[in-house]
A = this chain, B = another copy of it.
Amino acid sequence: MKKISTESYKGVRDFYPEDMSVQNYIFEKMHETAKSFGYSEYSASILEPTELYHAKSGEELVSEQTYSFKDRGDRDVTLRPEMTPTLARMVAAKKRELSFPLRWYSIPNIFRYEQPQRGRLREHWQLNVDIFGVENNESEKEMISVAHRLLKNFGAKNDDFIIKINDRRIMNALYQKFELTAEDAEHVSKALDKKSKNPFEVFKSALSGIFKKDAHLEEFLEAIESNQKLIKTLGEDNSLVKNLMELIDGLASVGVTNVLFDPTIVRGLDYYTGIVFEIFDTDPKNKRALFGGGRYDDLLSIFGNEKVSAVGFGAGDVTIKDFLETHALLPVYTSTTNLYLGVIDDAFSTAQTFANSLRTIGVNVAVDYTGKSVGDQIKKATNDHIPFIAIIGKKEVESKKLKIKNLATREEVEFGFEGIEKIAKIIL
């Protein structure tokens, strides 16, 4: 028989219990933070009709990065490369029954066919937080607050990360000022989105031939490098700039002070219509955005629905894990099992009954069935990072007593079999 490889598919991860524990830590903080702001969890299948991504997800993503195939019934199926189109589909499908504003969140896994590299894999999980049905800036303020709060809940300090914010409408005003066609404006926007990932010369050469005069190009480059220049170019009393400054002030008033207006933040996806933002690690080791989001008021129109205001963001597990490792914010691993119950003298039945009574009051107990030596059974518990051990053998069956040992402090306390409440107090 041909030997099968034990390697996983390229660019995806196996989660052994210690890896899973890190994932669960990240997911728990995501759940906790989103719920604390009143968001309800939703979910959907990773399989979507391919047409869902044609309208608004951006050409590069759909034609080069999706996992798309035909099913056995000849339907075009795609593994979701992002969650927002699915969310929009679900909202559009029940628009009449749902009670707006909606506050929804999800932690889906999403798929992109890319070269695996630091901060980017072919499958990753992404917290998605979205609010539907609020037109004013309070929703942007809240969305950025949720993102900020999540990082604070991980133990991050304000100077560990920076929130960069922009408004696509400001960029549109700039493109209009330089009389760019819609097509050229989109080209400049895509170049801006990639600016931070490449040397400046790559960015500059992507802009060559776009502007009517060299002076325009120079003025544009100055405007995106200096907020003062940008404001001067658009006019001191430009209402979009004022609106953005008000948002930054409003965030400061609720304690979110590490915010920067950055005109090079535009986001790669086509559907954004207003404020956009990304959050970056201040440690240069992690270059990719930790979070990205913004306003997308027009996405439901692809389903023939009228407009619904929407603001949301996504935050991926791969970049967050890199961030937490860089800033030493990951907790030490311990097993979810509280007690390892070693067994000698074939006392399985007594051990199982005792374990069952502990389980009814919330203690997680593993029973050993190997019949190995006490030393081996202690070694097993230690290897697995289980904090407590007890041994049941002939002696314990007769005396109806056993000793619970803390494997870190080596402290040992004796209990009667009926003393499960007292045992739980020590162990949990």
Contact = CB atoms under 8 A, between A and B. Distances in A.
A198 interface: no
Given A14-B44, A15-B42, A38-B367, A4 B52 contact: yes
Given A43-B23, A302-B4, A365-B37, A113 B71 contact: yes
A49 interface: yes
Q: How many copies altogether?
A: 2
Given A16-B94, A47-B9, A364 B303 contact: no
Nearest to A46: B46
B352 A254 contact: yes
A298 to B, nearest CB: 11
Nearest to A385: B40
A6 B89 contact: yes
Nearest to A386: B38
A356 B370 CA distance: 52
A188 interface: no
A134 B24 CA distance: 28
A49 B336 contact: no
A51 interface: yes
Contacts of A49: 5, 7, 9
Interface residues of A, number: 102
A142 interface: yes
Given A45-B8, A49-B5, A17 B104 contact: yes
A38 B388 CA distance: 12
Interface of A: 1, 3-10, 12-17, 20-21, 23-24, 35-49, 51-52, 54-55, 64, 67, 69-73, 75, 77, 89-90, 92-94, 99, 101, 103-104, 109, 111, 113, 122-123, 133-134, 136, 138-139, 141-142, 145, 149, 250, 253-255, 301-304, 335-337, 340, 348-349, 352-353, 355-356, 359, 362-370, 380, 383-384, 386
